[in-house]
Amino acid sequence: MDAFSFNCSLDDLPEGFDPLLGSDTLPGIGLEGGATAASCPAADTRTSRERIGALFASLASQAETLRAVLERCSEATPMGDLEEMVRQLQAHNLSVFDGANLCAQLERVGALERVGADGTPWVDAAEEEIVVDGVEYLAVPDACEPFWLTTAQGRAYVEESGPMEAVRDLFRREARYLPIYERILRMVGVEGGRSVADIAQAVNSDPLLKSPRLFAQRFLEDLKVAGAVRWSGTWQLTEAGRQVLDTIFAASADGE
């Protein structure tokens, strides 16, 4: 059998391949009919903007927290400060992802970078050799807390895809239900917000929600993902939600 080569690690090879037995155990190699070697996973060719957007979409319930991290890190910010901010934001929006994990994911998609306290690129402290009584030891340096800084790509994402744009996109897709969204936003705009029960009582019996049968919680979640409302023990209006009332629904308010 002719030799072949391909740039894959053993982890990339299909189940059942035994490297000690050779390619006869590898499906797709050494078979009749011109079969070729299994290909490696394709490289991620998405732009930074696309990768950041995909992260926000996959963690939709944490979109407000992710955005808050990027906004806070417009200047170099220590991990400890971010952890505290994330804990406060997640007080009524529990998640398996803590501040450190969210920062790591934002770093992975190119939205955040680790830096020193002065904003210069982060460099891991190297071990040092020391000699004690003629014996050499490796001294592990004290752990330093990294600072986080939003990258140019992260800043661009925040500027180009703010909550107002997300709300407008939601309303374009859900134009039929604009009266429901407006009713909810006006209800939760009062001081202290409104309970789920209050909103459900005002919305669930609306004829618009009869076919298909829908309920208030569905619209609350849509508005939450878009950044117009938040859950803080009650449903409350965000600053973006207030802007929606002052702009998109301003005309209907004037006509009341």
Q: Return the pLDDT at 64.
A: 87
Which CATH architecture describes the domain 163-254? Orthogonal Bundle (1.10)
What is the number of alpha carbons within 13 Å of residue 99 lying toward its C-beta? 23
Is 153 exposed, middle or buried (CB count within 10 Å of its CB: 0-12, 13-18, 19+)?
middle
Is residue 215 within 8 Å of residue 206, measured between CB atoms? no
Residue type at 235? W
CA distance 68 to 109: 16
Is residue 154 within 8 Å of residue 113, measured between CB atoms? no
**3-state SS string over 187-201?**
HHCCCCCECHHHHHH
3-class DSSP assignment, residue 76? coil
CA distance 52 to 70: 11
Residue type at 56? F
- Report residue 203 as tokens: 């919305």
Give the global pTM: 0.65
- Report residue 127 as tokens: 């071990």
First to last CA, the chain: 83
- Report residue 48 as tokens: 């930074």
Residue type at 134? G
What is the number of alpha carbons within 13 Å of residue 9 lying toward its C-beta? 2
Q: Return the pLDDT at 14.
A: 53
Contact partners, residue 28, CB within 8 Å, separation at least 6:
14, 35, 36, 37, 38
Q: Return the pLDDT at 5.
A: 46
- Report residue 248 as tokens: 């998109």
Per-residue pLDDT of the chain (256 residues; tens, 9 = 90+): 444 444 555 455 555 545 444 444 444 444 444 444 455 567 888 888 899 999 998 988 888 899 999 999 999 999 999 999 999 988 888 888 999 999 999 999 999 999 988 888 877 665 566 667 777 766 655 557 889 999 999 999 998 887 888 899 999 999 999 999 999 999 999 999 999 999 999 999 999 999 999 999 999 999 998 889 998 899 999 988 999 999 988 866 555 5
CA distance 256 to 248: 15
